[in-house]
Amino acid sequence: MKRISLFFLLGLFLTSLSYRQGEGPALITYKKEIQKERSLASEESSQCMRDLFTTQTLKGEVKELETLMDTNRLSGRWKHLDLSELPTSAAVFLTKFGDKLGDKTTSESIDASNCRDVPCLFNTLYGTPDGIAGYVHYLWFLRTGIYLAADNVVPDQQIQTPGIYNGKSHPLVSYLLDDDELYGFWRLSKLLKAPYSTLTYLKEIQRVPRGEAMEGKNSGACGLANSDGWITVSDSCLVVYPRSDGGYLFPAVIHELSHQLDFEEGRRLNDDFFRSHMRDYTEMTGFEMMEYLDSNGLNIRKWLLKPDSRLVSDYAKTSPHESFAELLAYYVVDGDDVKAKVDQAALNFAAGYFQGKNFEVQNQADGWATQAGILKTNDVLKAMVSCSSPECLDQSLSLLTQEELGRIRSLEPDGCRVLTNPLIAQTLPGKIREALNETTAKLKFSGSENPEMKQKLLDNFDLVLNPEDAYTSYFICHSQNAECYPREVASRKGPKLEEFGEAKGALLALYLETYRFERVQDEVISFYKSLLSSREGVMKIKTDELWESCKQIPPSDSAPPRGNDYVVRDGYMVSSFYHCLNQGFNSGLNATLDAVKLREFTPKNREERSFVLHLLKPKFTETLDHKLQNGRKYELRYREAFTTQYGTWLYNQMRSNRYWVPRGRRTQSELELACKQAAIKHIGGNIFFHLKKELYEDLLKKTCQGIN
């Protein structure tokens, strides 16, 4: 009985997201089956999460997540593997990151021809068949969409040759994670929820070779986050003490991830590049920008900090973006210390990124006790129905208390760490029991024992937990404030629970706890990301259509560039093309969504459609960025070809046909300028992605230099 209860909830949640053809939209398809076994063993109440760090546990987690995300099979091949035979997430991983794996000095260095799944590929690199490494790397991808690298290319390495770092050659193994580091990333993948698990622009976390400092940085730096979508970390940012769930890896990696979050929030809010540079944050933390032109006319910009500012660390005092990353990292890792160091406003700000969760030790424990009272509602009800004596009920509740303690130890990433506090260890069982007693009291309808009502509730429990209202509420509230979601759930679910009389309140609380905002968010975003990743071909077709239609318009810079749906991140684009892209952006995005005609996928309502469009936008933008890069490369190749073929002709033409020479006296530089202005008109071809005079600067210079 006690085992079913936990899995009942877990199973419902996971299976609710899986699709059965003909049962309607994937996310709201409700499956009544209750799976019969647990994925994670929590029978041993003394086991900690670290004790469950085994291949068997990790395999179970991979299987669950692959099932959850198995939306639309991809076609094609990756090396020897037929993608259509793989779960969607595995095929998506291979399509996106498969070619990055391993020793990039030679494509044939590792023979993975025996592998039939992603963990096996990683394990081949580690030389440990069926080891934990492959599962950790793959789970990191499944939970975050980010590639935890196992290759010998560091994104910003100074010498481009793979395996060369700090001027030395390193074997692939020195880029791989050891067991403690793997445990650290596994624990972190369970600790961090959305928005950390749903970062859009971050693609990769790469370890630099063991024993090496960060290339080109001061010796104190051990982690770097770049807005181009990568993080690099070195040894001292990867220290883990598994027995205590401590070590610098946790704050260090969360710090770097928080930088990425800072970029993404800035982009999302469309205000400043960093969320932390927005006025409300700088005022809260006490930062002020000092800016002035120095005596050489150089623009000097320095962050100043008010003397009485209360920040979490000395490093946090260097800039708003470092204070943002430090605050969020230590908020999770050492909640009690942060509370003592910063103001309440900063704590509230940080809590906003963790769905209001408070990581102080006592608060975590109290939260688990409250949660137990809610999540065990079904078990309490069963005990009430099956027990005819108070002693029996008392015994059942004691059993549930022990079971819940076991769950906290083994499934909560902070469970064992918090329970090392003697006071918590002593008081938590009592608090859990108290919460269960309260649930029992809530389920006694109107003071009378009503067996029929209890049985009815028991029989309909799966319907009570139908996730449809949670998902609809999420789509409505995903970009609104924290109060929106519970309010929306209550307004949708509440009336459906009226038939259970006074138990309504307890059931609504159970529903909200089961479908907590962050949990729904994680699942929904993972599902849609997987779905959309599996249909990137459609997006390519739609961006091609938009791109090609814009190329039909002759390039013109007569009007300034307008619009900000698509923004050119760097370099030039002719304004007519930019304008066209922005005009067609939203219709292209909608056309892409309409073209994702999966058998199971139709947004159920306006809110869901709007949500999916919001997820689709960064991908659509990224595809356009990629096309822009290719367009620029094409124009550079065209320039080379033109210069080779017509360079000499142009040189001679400008000297033989002197129609362009200005009348009257002119200086040499005026003459050369007039020559360039005339010469550029001889250069044909439509240039969309460069300023023409800059693209052909060298040719024009060679053509006109010294002309007389």
Partner 1 sequence: MWKSMGPLIIIFLLTSCGEKKSIEPGITSRSSLIEIKGAPQATQKVPGGEVLIYRGNEKFQISSEKVSATFRDPTGDERNVLYWRHRFRDCSVKEFPLSEELIPEMELKCAARGQSIVFVKNSGKVSRITEYEKN
Interface positions with partner 1 (CB under 8 A): 224-228, 266-267, 272-274, 277, 279, 290-295, 297, 299-301, 557, 560-562, 564, 567-573, 575, 578, 691
Q: How far is the CB of 295 from partner 1 (least distance, A)?
A: 6
Q: Which residue spans within 382-447 are E strands per DSSP?
A: none
In 3-state terms the chain splits into helix, strand, coil percentages (rounded to 5) of 60, 5, 35
CB nearer to partner 1: pick between 85 and 228: 228
Least separation in angstroms between residue 573's CB and partner 1 is: 6
Other CB atoms within 10 A of residue 629 CB:
13
Nearer to partner 1, 303 or 527 (CB): 303
Residue 616 beta carbon to partner 1: minimum distance, rounded to whole angstroms: 19
Query: Would you say 50 or 579 has its CB closer to partner 1?
Result: 579
Nearer to partner 1, 189 or 621 (CB): 621
Q: Which amino acid is at 644?
A: T
Whose CA is closest to 546, among 472, 621, 470?
Answer: 621
- How many Å is the Cα radius of gyration of the chain? 30
Q: CB of 247: closest distance to partner 1 in angstroms?
A: 24
Q: How far is the CB of 298 from partner 1 (least distance, A)?
A: 8
Q: How far is the CB of 263 from partner 1 (least distance, A)?
A: 8
Min dist. Cβ of residue 584 to partner 1 (A): 17
Nearer residue to partner 1 within complex by CB, 557 or 622: 557
Within 10 A of 138 (CB to CB), how many other CB atoms are there?
Answer: 26
C-beta of 164: minimal distance to partner 1 in Å? 21
Cα distance between residue 568 and residue 222, in whole Å: 31
Rounded to whole angstroms, how far apart are CA atoms 582 and 575? 10
- Tell the smallest beta-carbon distance from residue 266 to partner 1 (Å): 8
For residues 124 and 111, the answer to whether their CB atoms sit within 8 Å is yes
Q: What are phi and psi of 80, to 5 degrees?
A: -85, -5
- Pick 15 or 576: Cβ nearer partner 1: 576
The smaller minimum CB distance to partner 1, of residues 213 and 591, is found at: 213
Distances (CA, A) of 534 to 156, 406, 475, 530, 539: 29, 38, 21, 6, 10
DSSP 211: T
Phi, psi (deg, nearest 5) at residue 158: -75, -40
CA angle 512, 377, 398 (to 5 degrees): 135
Q: What is the DSSP letter of 408?
A: H
Residues 6 or more apart from 308 whose CB is under 8 A from it?
286
As measured in angstroms, the least distance from the Cβ of 571 to partner 1 is: 8
> Are 123 and 110 spatial neighbours (Cβ–Cβ below 8 Å)?
no
> For residues 442 and 692, which CB has a smaller minimum distance to partner 1 in the complex?
692
Identity of the residue, 211 or 571, whose beta carbon is nearer to partner 1 in the bound complex: 571
Nearer to partner 1, 298 or 388 (CB): 298
Question: What residues pair up with 206 in beta bridges, in sequence order?
Answer: 232
Q: How far is the CB of 570 from partner 1 (least distance, A)?
A: 5
304 vs 482 by CB, closer to partner 1: 304
48 vs 284, beta carbon nearer partner 1 = 284
- Could you give the 3-state DSSP secondary structure of residue 554? coil
Helices marked H in 449-516: 451-459, 461-464, 468-477, 484-493, 504-514
User: Which residues are 224's β-sheet partners?
Assistant: 232
Phi and psi torsions of 166, nearest 5°: 55, 35
Q: What is the DSSP letter of 563?
A: -
Provide, rounded to whole angstroms, the least separation between the CB of residue 562 and partner 1: 6
Q: Which is nearer to partner 1, 556 or 587 (CB)?
A: 556
Return the sign of the alpha-carbon dihedral for residues 471, 477, 479, 483.
Answer: negative
Cβ 227 to partner 1, closest distance in Å? 5
Taking the complex as a whole, the smallest distance from the CB of residue 267 to partner 1 amounts, in Å, to: 8
Block residue for tokens 């000095």: 105
Contacts of 280 (CB under 8 A, 6+ apart): none
For partner 1, which is the closer residue by CB, 267 or 619? 267
389, 392, 510: which is closest to 1 by C-alpha? 392
What DSSP line would sit under 277-317, residue for residue? GSHHHHHHHTEEEEEEE-TTS-EEEEEEE-TT---SSSGGG
Residue closer to partner 1, measured from CB, 220 or 560: 560
Task: Report the b/e string of 14-43 with b at 16+ CB within 10 A.
Answer: bbbbbbeeeeebbbbbbbeebbeeebbbbe
How many Å apart are CA 196 and CA 193, to the nearest integer? 6
CB of 304 to partner 1, least distance (A): 8
Residue 108 or 291: the one with the smaller Cβ distance to partner 1 is 291
Give least dist CB 297 to partner 1, A. 7
